[in-house]
Amino acid sequence: MKLARPLPPGSTIGILGGGQLARMLALAAARMGIDCHIYAPEVDSPAFSVSAHHTVASYTDFCALAEFAANVDAITYEFENVPGETAEFLGRRSVLAPSASVLKIAQDRLVEKTFISSLGIEVALFAAVDDERSLEKALTLIGRPSILKTRRLGYDGKGQTRIDATTGVALAWRDIGKTPAILEGFVPFETEVSIIAARGWDGALVSYDVTQNEHENHVLRRSTVPARISAAMAEEASRIAAKIIAALGYVGVIGIEMFALGNRLLVNELAPRVHNSGHWTMDGCTVSQFEQHVRAVCGWPLGSTERHSDATMTNLLGDEADEWERLSGEAGTAVHLYGKHLARPGRKMGHINRVTPRQA
């Protein structure tokens, strides 16, 4: 269902998923006078404690989903692996943004790369892999080094393996669990960047400044704005974002990850939701990516994406969040903690935004 008219303050939006992204969406919504109803299977979801309502149930409990849909004015999600039939079910009962058809594309790396390249946007060389034989064939086309990734359910480097000059085909195939996959040529990128963009129900389109990203052990460690890329490349990144979200008929915030190589930008991945590399907008812009997403879903005018400050966002992983007292005492540092109780190594427990006056 599409939104007929803007949702006024006092409305309730439903969010599938109860992690830190849902929590920060709920905090932004609260500031706008909008309540959130979180739907998540985990009893201790970080978003529950800052939201008006929550439901603990599985994503395939269609009775609970029907009740959830009946109690909210629009539905969105914080993660792209919502089962397809769940999104379609909710989309028939309520306003759902982004739509179930967007999820279908973003959930499958092969469909996603095919879609992006059909728009004339550059991606890494890629080929479908369904078994050892097709992996061998794909390797003759794409060469080594290359990266074998599962088509579905991969994130933060999970479900992928690098194939170097000597890596055995059988080993690589076993490494990713012998499931439908995609082989990608290795991109010797200079930097990884991303762009956060948004589109409203009326087709209005905005994007934030390009962010430069550094990963450690496949997990985002740091995002910096401004990115060290030329103005022409930054413009190209926002043209790419505009092309993708217009073609998707997208509503909401999207994160688009890219590799920068010389003066080329290759799109790696779409995240049909608010994105970790957009957390700097909470303290670097008047309207954060979280407020922007709520605005878009609720049919409000999109907000300014202007960056008023330079910023570096650093994720606090595992016990690094124990440093909250020292970090809070740093001038120009905003500390954001997610209220998670168990600090497993590598788990995203919070982030900090170090903000300085805008230089350029």
Binding stretches for ligand AMP (CB under 6 A): 124, 147, 154, 157, 160, 184, 186-187, 192, 215, 218, 257, 268-269
For the bound state, the minimum distance from the C-beta of residue 265 to ligand AMP, rounded and expressed in Å, comes to 13
Q: Which is nearer to ligand AMP, 208 or 259 (CB)?
A: 259
For the bound state, the minimum distance from the C-beta of residue 46 to ligand AMP, rounded and expressed in Å, comes to 23
Looking at the DSSP bridge assignments, the partners of residue 259 are 192, 266
Round to whole Å and give the CA distance between 169 and 160.
14
For the bound state, the minimum distance from the C-beta of residue 174 to ligand AMP, rounded and expressed in Å, comes to 19
For the bound state, the minimum distance from the C-beta of residue 239 to ligand AMP, rounded and expressed in Å, comes to 22
Q: Which is nearer to ligand AMP, 187 or 334 (CB)?
A: 187
User: Residues 273, 17: contact at Cβ < 8 Å?
Assistant: no
Phi-psi region of 334 (alpha: psi -120 to 50; beta: other; left: phi over 0): beta
Look at the block and give the residue holding tokens 């080594």.
Answer: 144
Q: Which is nearer to ligand AMP, 269 or 291 (CB)?
A: 269
The helix or strand, by DSSP H or E, that contains position 265, with its residue range, turns out to be strand 264-271
Q: Cis omega (within 30 of 0) on the bond before 9?
A: no
Q: Which is nearer to ligand AMP, 279 or 295 (CB)?
A: 279
Q: Where are the alpha helices (DSSP H) in 71-131?
A: 84-93, 100-106, 109-118
Looking only at the bridges linking them, the beta strands covering 35-40 and 12-16 are parallel
Q: Which is nearer to ligand AMP, 268 or 305 (CB)?
A: 268
Q: Cis omega (within 30 of 0) on the bond before 188?
A: no
For the bound state, the minimum distance from the C-beta of residue 157 to ligand AMP, rounded and expressed in Å, comes to 5
Q: Which is nearer to ligand AMP, 67 or 214 (CB)?
A: 214
The full length of the chain comes to 360
For the bound state, the minimum distance from the C-beta of residue 66 to ligand AMP, rounded and expressed in Å, comes to 34
Q: Which is nearer to ligand AMP, 133 or 215 (CB)?
A: 215
Q: Which residue is nearest to ligand AMP (CB)?
A: 187
Contacts of 180 (CB under 8 A, 6+ apart): 110, 128, 129, 130, 150, 151, 152
Q: Cis omega (within 30 of 0) on the bond before 83?
A: no
Round to whole Å and give the CA distance between 253 and 255.
7
Of the candidates 172, 144, 176, the one whose C-alpha atom is nearest the C-alpha of residue 158 is 176
For the bound state, the minimum distance from the C-beta of residue 192 to ligand AMP, rounded and expressed in Å, comes to 5
Query: Coil, strand or helix: which one is 314?
Result: strand
For the bound state, the minimum distance from the C-beta of residue 167 to ligand AMP, rounded and expressed in Å, comes to 15
Q: Which is nearer to ligand AMP, 14 or 255 (CB)?
A: 255
